[in-house]
A and B are shown apart, each in its own frame.
Chain A
Amino acid sequence: GQQLNQSPQSMFIQEGEDVSMNCTSSSIFNTWLWYKQEPGEGPVLLIALYKAGELTSNGRLTAQFGITRKDSFLNISASIPSDVGIYFCAGQLRFHNTDKLIFGTGTRLQVFP
């Protein structure tokens, strides 16, 4: 099955540092999504991107939808301990009447005080 390439696989950073992660695909998507999964929980949507070139912010998070529609990145500024978790990108495909998501392999983020 199709998968998205996400990097880096893991990051260990100090509190206050900025974080950047990205996702690439061989296929075009019309929507890119970024999810965060905290330990012991299911993923939760952080940001949705609907247009090529779009740059969207949600607090300290900024995400961009690549111009080619084959990539996206997520930046976290001034990281804090509660940013710890696994971050997943996802590209959306329409199938029948359903928005099916293809997920990236995930970036595990650890933040040290």
Chain B
Amino acid sequence: DVKVTQSSRYLVKRTGEKVFLECVQDMDHENMFWYRQDPGLGLRLIYFSYDVKMKEKGDIPEGYSVSREKKERFSLILESASTNQTSMYLCASSGQPGYNEQFFGPGTRLTVL
């Protein structure tokens, strides 16, 4: 059974803190993605990676960075958390092009106070 896991389901942080969100997939997938989900806005792509140490900006990368040191792990970093980064964060992975399905983790609900 395919699996994408995220390190926390719920997280509460203070403004200015550095925040790490971790994602691990066990499907040996090349591609990994970070989205944020907000009501009425759907899922918006923050960053993605198509190989180890490779990363590409998505549609809303400002205020975020990512790290992919190992194929199975993709980390999202908020260098200095702000209240407007309060959101649901979803990680996904997919295999080679042509296999379009992205498999999602359960999400991390982050609240920044």
A and B held together in a complex: yes
Instruction: Judge whether B84 is part of the interface by a CB distance below 8 angstroms.
Output: no
Interface size, B (range) = 20 to 34
Q: Across the interface, which residues of A come within 8 angstroms of B41, CB to CB?
A: 3, 105
| Interface residues of B, dominant DSSP | loop
Instruction: Judge whether B43 is part of the interface by a CB distance below 8 angstroms.
Output: yes
Interface size on A, residues (CB 8 A): 30
A1 and B90 form a contact (CB under 8 A): no
Question: A residues near B, CB below 8 A?
Answer: 1-4, 6, 9, 31, 33, 40-45, 48, 88, 92, 94-106
Q: Across the interface, which residues of A come within 8 angstroms of B92, CB to CB?
A: 42
Question: With A1-B58, A2-B59 in contact, is A100–B104 under 8 Å at CB?
Answer: no
Question: With A42-B104, A96-B50, A97-B30 in contact, is A105–B42 under 8 Å at CB?
Answer: yes
